[in-house]
C-alpha cells in the first residue's frame, strides 16, 4: 500500500508528464526548449526511486529532491531539487501535514530557491508564482480558512503570478539574454510551480 | 525532424561510447556515468574539468587529452549535467594537484558545477573554478545573468591546459584561465535554427530571408533579427561589436577563431575568415594564429561565431604548446 505522500508526488509526476510538451513549448519561446522534457525525466525517476510505503513526509521529500537533483539537470534540477530537500528538512519525521507545516515547508522551499538561484521576486522566475501563493496561503490560514480553501486561494495567486511574468522582462536564466523580447511570454518555471500547487490541491480534494 | 539517431533518450550515451570506440588512446568513459577522462589518467598534474549540455561536439569530450582537458561531463542535450556527475568527474580526474573547473556562464551550469565543487571540497579535494563569459551579444549588466560562455571557452581549455601540462600549480593554471577570459570575446549568428532531438522541432523559426544575430549555442533566440546580407557584411557586424569592447587595438596581436555552429559548410567559414583578416589588418591588429572549424557547435544550427583572443608574451607560448586530443592536435 503506497503512502499518501507518495501518491501525491505520483500525481504531480503524472501532471508534469501530461504537460511535458506544453512546458517545453513555453521554454522554446524564451529559453532552450527543454523544461518539460527535463522535469518529466526527473519526476519519472522520482516515481521509481522514492519508496512507495515510506510515510515520513520529510524523508520522502528529501529523497524526491535528491532524485531531481541527479536527474533533471539544467537550472531546474538544482532549483527544484533544493526546494524539495529544504521542504523535507522542515517536515522531517512528520506523517501528517497541518496548514502550518505546509506553510513552513513552502517558505523553506522558497528560501532555498532564492539562495541557490540568487533570485528575487519580479525577475520572471518560478518565484513570481510561489511567493504570492505562499503569502496568500499563510494569510488565509491565519484568518481561519481551511487547508484546501487557503490552497485554492494560493493557486489563484500563483496563476496571477504566471500572468505577471508575461508583463516583465527576465533578468535571471537564459530568458534574460532576450532582453525586452522576453516580455509577452509566460515563464515556464512559474508555470510548472503552479501546476505543482494545483495538483496538490486536486489531490487533497479527492483524497 | 530528420536525424541520424536511434532512441532520443540514448543519444548522449551512444555518442560517448562511439567517441571512446574511436579514440581509446585519448579517452575512457567512467562506468555508468556521462563522463570522459583521459585514458592514461592525470596523475601528478593539475586537472582541468569542463562540460555542459551535449550538442556542442566536439566540445567538451573532444578536447580531453594531453595539453587540454582531463575530464569532460556531458549533460543531456543543451542541459547542464547534474552535480553528482560533475562530482564523479572531479574525483576521477584529480591527479593529486587539484582540479580547476572551467564553467560556461549559464545559470544551470554554474549551480550544478558549484554544488559539485562543494561536494568534492568536503572530500578534501582541492577545487577551484573559472567562469567563461565571452559572448558580447549579451548585455553585461545587473539586468541579465551576465554574458554567456561560448566558443572562447576553447581558448581557455587550450591555454590553461598547456599551463597545467607544463607543471603549473592550481593558482597558476587558474591565473592563465582568468587572463584568457579577460582577453577573449566572441559573437555569433545563425541563418537557421537547430533542432533538439527530444523537442523534435526547430528551436526558433526564421523566414527564408531572415537571420538571427547574437545567438547563443543552445538554440536560444538571439538579440535581434535582420535581413540576410553577405557574409562580409555579417562578419563586419559581429566584429564591430567585438572590437567595441576596446580590448583589441592597433598594434595588438590576436588569435582568431571562426567557429562553425554545426550545420555550416567549412567553405562558408573560410569565406568569412577571408574578410575577417582584411578587417583586422585595416585596424592594425596583427593575427598571430587562426583557427577555422567546428569547435563549439550547436547541433545542426547553421551559422558561425567569431572569437578574438588578445595575446602577449605569456599567452603565445601556451597557445603554441603541443596538444593531443581527439578534436585538437598540434605539435
With CB atoms and an 8 Å threshold, state whether B220 touches A74.
Answer: no
- The mean pLDDT of B82-92, rounded to a whole number, is 97
Closest alpha carbon within chain B to A40:
B198
Grade residue A191 by pLDDT with cuts at 50, 70 and 90. very high
What is chain A's percent helix, strand, coil content, to nearest 5? 75, 0, 25
Cα–Cα–Cα angle for B118, B119, B122, rounded to 5 degrees: 85
* pLDDT tens string B168-205: 999 999 999 999 999 999 999 999 999 989 888 888 88
- The phi, psi pair for B184, rounded to 5°, reads -115, 135
Contacts of A178 in chain B (CB under 8 A): 220-221, 223
Residues of chain A with C-beta less than 8 angstroms from the C-beta of B81: 73
Q: Exposed, middle or buried by CB within 10 Å (0-12, 13-18, 19+), for A48?
A: exposed
CA neighbours closer than 13 Å in the CB half-sphere of residue A169: 11
In DSSP terms, which residues pair with B270 in a beta bridge?
Answer: none
Domains of chain A: 4-206 (1.25.40.340)
The pLDDT-based confidence of B140 (bands split at 50, 70, 90) is low
Residue B237 has pLDDT above 70, yes or no: yes
Q: For A15-29, B122-136, B138-152, B307-321, which range has the lowest pLDDT when averaged over its residues?
A: B138-152
pLDDT of residue A174 exceeding 90:
no
Within 8 A by CB and 6+ apart from B36, the residues are: B16, B19, B20, B27, B28, B29, B30, B61, B64, B71, B72, B74
Of residues A33, A75, A171, nearest to B111 (C-beta): A75
Q: Which of A32, A127, A171, A187 to mutate to test the interface with B (most CBs of B within 10 A)?
A: A32
Q: Do A74 and B79 touch (CB under 8 A)?
A: yes
Cell numbers at A38, concatenated = 527535463
Q: Which of B91, B252, B247 is nearest to B184 (CA)?
A: B247
B144 interaction partners in chain A (CB closer than 8 Å): 171, 176-177, 179
Specify the pLDDT at position B144.
66
What is the average pLDDT score of chain A? 95
Write down the mean pLDDT value for chain B.
95
Mean pLDDT of B53-74: 98
Out of B85, B201, B219, whose CB is closest to A32?
Answer: B219
pLDDT tens by residue, A51-101: 999 999 999 999 999 999 999 998 999 999 999 999 999 999 999 999 999
pLDDT bracket for residue A4 (50, 70, 90) = very high
What percentage of chain B exceeds 70 in pLDDT?
Answer: 98
| Confidence check: pLDDT of B70 > 60 | yes
Q: How far is the C-alpha of A9 from the C-alpha of A49, rounded, in Å?
A: 12
**Rounded to 5, what percent of chain B is helix, strand, coil?**
35, 25, 40
Q: Give the nearest partner residue to A34 out of B112, B196, B201, using CB atoms.
A: B196
> CA of B87 to nearest chain A CA: how many angstroms apart?
11
Answer whether A207's CB lies under 8 Å from A3's CB.
no
Q: Residue B227 burial (CB < 10 Å; 0-12/13-18/19+)?
A: exposed
Give me B179's grid cell: 587572463
Q: What pLDDT is recorded for position A28?
A: 85
Q: Tell me how far the alpha carbon of residue A206 is from its chain's centroid.
A: 20
Q: What is the pLDDT of residue B142?
A: 55
Can you give A159-206 as a three-state secondary structure string?
A: HHHHHHHHHCCCCCCHHHHHHHHHCCCCCHHHHHHHHHHHHHHHHHHH
Searching chain B, which residue's CA lies closest to the CA of residue A178?
B223
Lowest mean pLDDT among A139-143, A171-175, B279-283: A171-175
Amino acid at each position: 500500500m503506497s503512502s499518501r505522500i507518495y501518491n501525491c508526488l505520483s500525481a504531480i509526476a503524472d501532471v508534469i508528464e501530461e504537460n511535458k510538451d506544453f512546458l517545453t513549448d513555453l521554454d522554446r519561446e524564451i529559453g532552450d526548449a527543454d523544461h518539460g522534457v527535463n522535469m518529466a525525466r526527473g519526476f519519472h525517476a522520482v516515481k521509481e526511486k522514492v519508496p512507495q510505503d515510506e510515510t515520513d513526509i520529510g524523508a520522502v521529500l528529501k529523497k524526491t529532491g535528491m532524485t531531481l537533483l541527479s536527474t533533471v539537470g539544467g537550472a531546474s534540477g538544482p532549483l527544484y531539487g533544493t526546494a524539495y530537500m529544504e521542504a523535507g528538512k522542515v517536515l522531517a519525521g512528520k506523517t501528517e501535514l497541518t496548514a502550518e507545516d505546509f506553510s513552513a515547508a513552502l517558505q523553506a522551499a522558497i528560501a532555498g530557491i532564492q539562495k541557490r538561484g540568487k533570485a528575487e521576486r519580479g525577475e520572471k522566475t518560478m518565484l513570481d508564482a510561489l511567493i504570492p501563493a505562499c503569502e496568500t496561503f499563510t494569510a488565509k490560514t491565519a484568518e481561519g480558512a481551511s487547508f484546501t480553501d487557503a490552497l485554492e486561494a494560493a493557486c489563484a495567486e500563483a496563476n496571477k503570478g504566471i500572468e505577471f511574468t508575461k508583463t516583465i522582462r527576465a533578468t535571471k536564466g537564459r530568458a534574460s539574454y532576450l532582453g525586452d523580447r522576453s516580455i509577452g511570454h509566460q515563464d515556464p518555471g512559474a508555470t510548472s510551480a503552479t501546476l505543482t500547487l494545483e495538483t496538490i490541491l486536486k489531490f487533497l480534494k479527492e483524497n | 525532424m530528420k536525424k541520424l539517431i536511434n532512441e532520443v533518450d540514448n543519444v548522449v550515451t551512444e555518442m560517448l561510447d562511439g567517441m571512446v570506440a574511436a579514440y581509446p588512446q585519448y579517452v575512457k568513459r567512467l562506468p555508468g556515468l556521462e563522463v570522459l577522462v583521459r585514458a592514461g589518467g592525470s596523475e601528478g598534474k593539475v586537472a582541468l574539468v569542463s562540460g555542459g549540455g551535449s550538442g556542442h561536439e566536439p566540445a567538451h569530450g573532444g578536447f580531453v587529452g594531453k595539453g587540454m582537458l582531463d575530464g569532460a561531463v556531458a549533460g543531456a542535450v543543451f542541459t547542464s549535467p547534474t552535480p553528482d556527475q560533475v562530482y564523479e568527474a572531479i574525483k576521477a580526474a584529480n591527479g593529486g594537484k587539484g582540479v580547476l573547473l572551467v564553467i560556461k556562464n549559464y545559470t544551470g551550469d554554474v549551480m550544478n558545477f558549484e554544488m559539485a565543487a562543494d561536494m568534492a571540497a568536503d572530500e578534501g579535494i582541492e577545487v577551484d573554478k573559472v567562469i567563461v563569459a565571452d559572448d558580447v551579444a549579451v548585455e553585461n549588466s545587473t539586468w541579465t545573468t551576465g554574458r554567456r560562455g561560448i566558443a572562447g571557452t576553447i581558448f581557455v581549455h587550450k591555454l590553461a591546459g598547456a599551463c597545467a601540462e607544463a607543471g603549473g600549480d592550481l593558482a597558476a593554471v587558474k591565473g592563465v584561465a582568468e587572463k584568457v577570459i579577460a582577453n577573449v570575446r566572441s559573437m555569433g549568428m545563425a541563418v537557421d535554427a537547430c533542432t533538439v532531438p527530444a523537442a523534435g522541432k526547430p528551436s526558433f523559426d526564421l523566414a527564408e530571408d531572415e537571420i538571427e544575430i547574437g545567438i547563443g549555442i543552445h538554440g536560444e533566440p538571439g538579440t535581434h533579427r535582420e535581413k540576410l546580407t553577405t557574409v562580409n557584411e555579417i562578419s563586419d557586424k559581429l566584429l564591430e561589436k567585438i572590437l567595441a569592447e576596446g580590448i583589441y587595438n592597433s598594434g595588438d596581436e590576436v588569435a582568431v577563431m571562426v567557429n562553425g555552429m554545426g550545420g555550416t559548410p567549412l567553405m562558408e567559414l573560410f569565406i568569412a575568415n577571408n574578410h575577417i583578416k582584411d578587417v583586422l589588418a585595416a585596424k592594425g591588429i596583427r593575427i598571430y594564429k587562426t583557427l577555422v572549424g567546428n569547435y563549439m557547435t550547436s547541433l545542426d544550427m547553421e551559422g558561425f561565431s567569431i572569437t578574438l583572443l588578445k595575446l602577449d608574451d605569456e599567452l603565445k607560448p601556451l597557445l603554441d604548446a603541443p596538444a593531443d586530443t581527439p578534436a585538437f592536435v598540434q605539435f
